[in-house]
């Protein structure tokens, strides 16, 4: 497969704390899945059959860990390219001794294309993706028509895709792209944003809190596979 020309992130060296650096070495064998262009056997990976959530760009992982702790009946896969965030989540996961989380430190688009089997996820979450506000950078936004189809193809027949952003122009683009996706149906009445009551209560993510401090409106979008 050809490497993608445009990515939704730029590789930042990022400052790893000593503890994060140690975690990346010592805890990776317990929680990490190396990227390989080969489909994963998710039942084997988690040692059971359970509903599965994949979170794209989990940042520092607080939200993912909280969900894993409060939903022990589900399994969670987190995908993130920023090493300090991965190290942070590894440390928290180890401290909490969770057994239902696995991490992949690689581009989520390639992970979905090459590692995640079709119709294998019950839920995909994309929370506060980089908004790339400048017009010349819009092409870097992860959510586009191809991405919507890719995510939808990895959902089970009853699977759901949940996205959120505090950047209104991006929210508008998400809404129009997702409403156009033939494999997804909007859960909200009249094809709009999901009312707060329809989206599962969850811990605010770091970027959500930042957006709220700046006075931004948070838009949530909820779709099911059709």
Ligand X SMILES: C[S@@+](CC[C@H](N)C(=O)[O-])C[C@H]1O[C@@H](n2cnc3c(N)ncnc32)[C@H](O)[C@@H]1O
Which residues of the chain form contacts with ligand X (CB under 6 A)? Answer: 8-9, 56-59, 79-82, 85, 107-109, 127-130, 142, 205-208
Query: What is the Cα–Cα distance from 131 to 129, expressed in whole angstroms?
Result: 6
**Contact yes or no for 122/60 (Cβ under 8 A):** no
Give the largest Cα separation in the chain, rounded: 50
Q: Which residue is nearest to ligand X (CB)?
A: 57
By C-beta, is 58 or 223 nearer to ligand X?
58
Query: What is the Cα–Cα distance from 62 to 88, expressed in whole angstroms?
Result: 9
State in angstroms the smallest separation of the CB of 190 from ligand X. 27
By C-beta, is 85 or 87 nearer to ligand X?
85
**Contact yes or no for 100/72 (Cβ under 8 A):** yes
State in angstroms the smallest separation of the CB of 106 from ligand X. 7
Show the tokens assigned to 22. Answer: 């140690």
Indicate which residues carry an active-site annotation. 130
Show the tokens assigned to 110. Answer: 């390639």
By C-beta, is 1 or 185 nearer to ligand X?
1
State in angstroms the smallest separation of the CB of 58 from ligand X. 6
DSSP-based three-state secondary structure for 55: strand
């Amino acid at each position: 497969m050809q490497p993608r020309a445009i990515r939704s992130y730029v590789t930042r060296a990022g400052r790893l704390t000593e503890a994060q650096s140690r975690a990346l070495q010592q805890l990776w064998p317990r929680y990490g899945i190396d990227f390989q262009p080969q489909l994963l056997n998710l039942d084997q990976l988690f040692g059971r059959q359970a509903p599965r959530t994949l979170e794209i760009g989990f940042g520092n992982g607080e939200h993912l860990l909280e969900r894993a702790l409060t939903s022990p009946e589900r399994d969670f896969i987190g995908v993130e390219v920023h090493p300090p965030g991965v190290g942070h989540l590894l440390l928290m996961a180890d401290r909490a001794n969770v057994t239902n989380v696995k991490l992949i430190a690689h581009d989520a688009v390639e992970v979905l294309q090459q590692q995640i089997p079709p119709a294998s996820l019950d839920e995909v979450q994309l929370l506060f993706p980089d908004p790339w506000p400048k017009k010349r950078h819009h092409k870097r936004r992860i959510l586009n028509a191809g991405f919507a189809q890719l995510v939808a193809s990895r959902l089970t027949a009853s699977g759901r895709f949940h996205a959120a952003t505090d950047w209104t122009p991006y929210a508008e683009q998400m809404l129009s792209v997702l409403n156009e996706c033939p494999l997804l149906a909007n859960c909200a009445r009249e094809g709009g944003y999901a009312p707060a009551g329809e989206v599962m209560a969850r811990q605010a993510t770091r970027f959500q809190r930042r957006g709220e401090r700046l006075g931004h409106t948070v838009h949530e979008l909820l779709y099911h596979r059709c």
